[in-house]
Structure 1
C-alpha cells in the first residue's frame, strides 16, 4: 500500500456529530421545522452547496453568504476550542511517514476551517497532499475523486487505502478499487453494518484500528 487517504471530520477529529446537527439547529433557530430527510439530502454536499440547497428548500430570507458566515463562526469556534484529535492520529501519521508512505488529507470541509485544525494540532508536516472541497471540482461520491489522488502519486486503486466515516465515500473508494477503513463512532446507525461489510477493518475511532497502519 503506497497511499493513505484520510477524511477529517468524524475520522480523526470528533466533529461529525456537531456537523450533523449544525443545519438542523440553524433552521430551528429560525423557527423552521426541518424534514427528517434533510441531512440525507445534503450529506455529500459542500457546506456552501448544502446551505444553498437548504435556503431554496425552506425559502430562508438570509442570503447564502449570511448563513455561511453564521455557520463558519459557530463551527470555527469549535474547531479552535472544543473538538478533539483522536489520540492515535499523530502516532499513525508519524509511522506512515517513516515507512515512506504518502499521507493525504481529503475532506469536504472548506480550507478556512481545515487550516484551523491543521494548525492547532500541527499536522501539516505529516501530509503529502491536502484535497479540500472548495479547491477541487470533484466530490467524494465520484470514484474519480479518489482515483485522481492515487494518480497524483503514480499509484493504482489497489495501492491506496481510504480512511472514512461516510458510507457514500466508502462506496466510491471501493468502486475505485481501493481498500477502505471504516470509522463508525459518529456514523448514522443505519450505515454502520454496511460500512463494516465494505471495509477491510473498522472501529469506533482510529485508536481502535491503529494496528492496521502500524503493520504497514
Structure 2
C-alpha cells in the first residue's frame, strides 16, 4: 500500500456517476427553450463550472434577458429532471469505493453539482457511508477550474496536498486539482487521453478499477 497517500478526492459527474448524458441533455434543453442551438464543444467547455456560473456564461453570450435567479432555477429544473431519469453509477464505481474503504483510505467527494442533486444521488446509491465529507458546487464562489473547491476539500479533510489523490474526468477538474497541488488521476470517457495529460493529469486510466492498479504499481504515486 502506498504510505504517503491517505485520501482520495473523487469528482462525481463523469467519474463516479455516468451522468454526462443527463447533463448534456439538460444543457441542450435549456437553450432550446430560448430557440438557441447549443453545441457539443460549448457543453464540454462548461463541464466543471457550477450551474450558476454556467447560466451566467450563457446569459452573457446569448443575451438572455431574464434575471439570473430565474435562469438558474430553470437550468436546475432541467438538470434535476434529466439527472433523475438518466444518471446512473459509473461502471466500477461501487467496487472502487468498497475496495478503497477496505484498504483504509479516506474518501471525500468534490463536485460542481449542487448539494441537493449530488447528495440525493449519493444516498440513492447508498454511498454516503463511504465518504468522510463532501464539497458541493453551491458552496464555492469560483468553481472548477479554479482551485477553490479543492482548497476547501483539503481544509475539511484537515490534510495536505501531498496526502491526496484526486480522480477527475474533465480538463477543468484536473486543472482545479492540480492548482491545489494534488496528484491527479485522469479518467477517460468524456475526454481523450492526450487532452487529460495536457491539462496536467499525472496518470490517465480508462476504468475506475484501474485506480487500484495505480496503487499497486511501484512508484506510481
TM-score of the two chains, using structure 2 as the length reference: 0.80
Q: 1:208 to 1:74 in 2, by over 3 A?
A: farther
Distance of 1:129 and 1:204 partners within structure 2: 26
Structure 1 contact 5–103 (Cα < 8 Å) conserved? yes
Structure 1 contact 88–210 (Cα < 8 Å) conserved? no
What is the DSSP-based 3-state SS (H/G/I as helix, E as strand, rest coil) of the residue aligned with 2:28?
A: helix
- C-alpha displacement of 1:19: 1.9
Q: 1:81 to 1:174 in 2, by over 3 A?
A: same
- Tell me the alpha carbon deviations over residues 113-165 of structure 1, each in whole angstroms, 9 at most, x when there is no partner: 11221121111111101000112334332335424423433422121100001
- C-alpha displacement of 1:91: 2.2
Distance of 2:35 and 2:187 partners within structure 1: 34
Q: 1:136 to 1:68 in 2, by over 3 A?
A: closer
What is the DSSP-based 3-state SS (H/G/I as helix, E as strand, rest coil) of the residue aligned with 1:125?
A: coil
- C-alpha displacement of 1:47: 0.4
Alignment of structure 1 residues 1-216 onto 2, 5 Å: 1-34=5-38, 38-39=42-43, 42-187=46-191, 189=192, 192-196=193-197, 198-212=200-214
Distance of 1:37 and 1:89 partners within structure 2: 27
Q: 1:58 to 1:143 in 2, by over 3 A?
A: closer
Distance of 2:47 and 2:95 partners within structure 1: 30
Aligned length: 213
- C-alpha displacement of 1:57: 2.5
What is the DSSP-based 3-state SS (H/G/I as helix, E as strand, rest coil) of the residue aligned with 2:135?
A: strand
What is the DSSP-based 3-state SS (H/G/I as helix, E as strand, rest coil) of the residue aligned with 1:206?
A: coil
Distance of 2:114 and 2:211 partners within structure 1: 27
What is the DSSP-based 3-state SS (H/G/I as helix, E as strand, rest coil) of the residue aligned with 2:162?
A: helix
Q: Which has the higher helix share?
A: 1
Q: Which runs of 5+ in 1 are unaligned?
A: none
- C-alpha displacement of 1:186: 1.6
Distance of 1:210 and 1:79 partners within structure 2: 28
Distance of 1:96 and 1:150 partners within structure 2: 19
RMSD: 2.8
- C-alpha displacement of 1:48: 1.6
Mean Cα displacement is larger for which, 71-80 or 102-111?
Answer: 71-80
